[in-house]
Amino acid sequence: MAVIDSTAIISDAASLAHDVSVGPYVVIGPNVTIGSGCVIGPFTRIEGPTAIGERNNFYGHASIGGPPQDLKYGGERTAISIGNDNVFREFVTVNRGTAGGGGLTTIASSNFFMAYSHVAHDCHVGSQTVFANNATLAGHVEVGDFSTIGAFSAVHQFCRVGEHAFIGGGSMATQDVLPFVKTVGSRPAASYGINTIGLERRGFSKDTIEALQRAYRLLVRSKLKLEEALLRIESELSNYPEVRYLAEFVRGSHRGFIR
């Protein structure tokens, strides 16, 4: 049975599962769908169109589904889609998409957004990521599964963060962030090798980590031209799917990547 505080304001055009918990002074607008087991903490505001899956926890004072902070936005109908089992701590903000960016901001499942972190319009966040306090995405950013965005870090618009990437606190990423790699620094940021400890904790084999380390050295530390390094990686290490993904990520970069 839903537990809804008497001070909450919920639109008649919103749809809540039967067991959603809604705290004091929550505001839920029209065209919002909230799945089973969700907890909406005090003073949270959710605007639509927004679709929220199951067992998400909004601790309080979050702002979800607000219009994009984009001067080109003219009130077009855009949306947010959120999966299951995400945690949104205090004052997290997530904005809807823009018409020019596809119209949709997406967050998959099992992510942890610490206080004051921000996901801007048209971003696409994978699963099992961690956003530390004040981690910020500009518009049109893609974030791969299992990545970590450190506290007070920012990712420039149209950049990509690869799977299992680790961005250290206080970093400014103005180009793509390599998967599996530690990236730290402010203007310019730099990469500091494969995130060995993180990958070990995720259960990656020693052979896979060593292959990624070798690929990283060819890509970043050698004096080979980029295409020569990629060809070496693809010819010598293609039996490792993680290495193939790393090479494909680099080949798909439009802004360049942080070395």
205-230 CB burial, b ≥16 within 10 A, e <16: eeebbebbebbbebbbeeeeeeeebb
- Catalytic positions, please? 121-122, 139
The answer for residues whose C-beta is within 8 angstroms of residue 146's C-beta and 6 or more apart is: 126, 127, 128, 129, 163, 164, 202
Closest CA to 164 of 149, 177, 151, 147: 147
Closest CA to 165 of 249, 228, 231: 249
Hey, what are 65's tokens? 């589904």
- DSSP of 35-104: -TT-EE-TT-EE-SSEEE-SS-EE-SS-EEEEPPS-TT--S---EEEE-SS-EE-TT-EEE---GGGTSE
Q: Between vectors from CA 126 to CA 230 and to CA 84, what angle results, nearest 5°?
A: 160
Per DSSP bridges, beta strands 21-22 and 45-46 are unpaired
